[in-house]
Amino acid sequence: MELFIPSQSDLRAYRSIMLQHGSGFDNDGYYVYNQDGEGFGQFFGSLLKNIVPLFSRGIKATYDIAKPHLQKAAREVVSNGSKRLLNKISGDIVNSIERPKKRRRRRI
């Protein structure tokens, strides 16, 4: 009986086909092509791990700086909007009151 010693490519194919987890593509063991190596994913992943905390701190600092200005602007928008709404409603009420029609004079 011979001893089977798999090559590196056989091991890679076995791992990519038989050791998959999840409920994805059902390939019945015929799909051998897979991606190996780290590629751009590791570079961008480590870059994002360093950038995300800085970005979140920047957003928090910007919010803390802009908070008083945003509150003031919100108050002004609400007050101006309520004034315009009251003027429009009061104008609609005044315009909706029926005025007595003038009698037409008959020309002879």
Distance of alpha carbon 57 from alpha carbon 48, whole angstroms: 14
Residue 37's pLDDT is 57
Question: Averaged over 24-32, what is the pLDDT?
Answer: 56
- Do the Cβ atoms of 17 and 31 come closer than 8 Å? yes
pLDDT band at 27 (very low <50, low <70, confident <90, very high): low
Residue 95's pLDDT is 67
pLDDT tens digits, one per residue of 35-93: 555 667 777 777 888 888 888 999 999 999 999 999 999 999 999 999 988 888 877 76
- Do the Cβ atoms of 13 and 36 come closer than 8 Å? no
Is the pLDDT assigned to residue 30 strictly greater than 60?
no
User: Dihedral sign, CA of 50, 55, 58, 63?
Assistant: negative
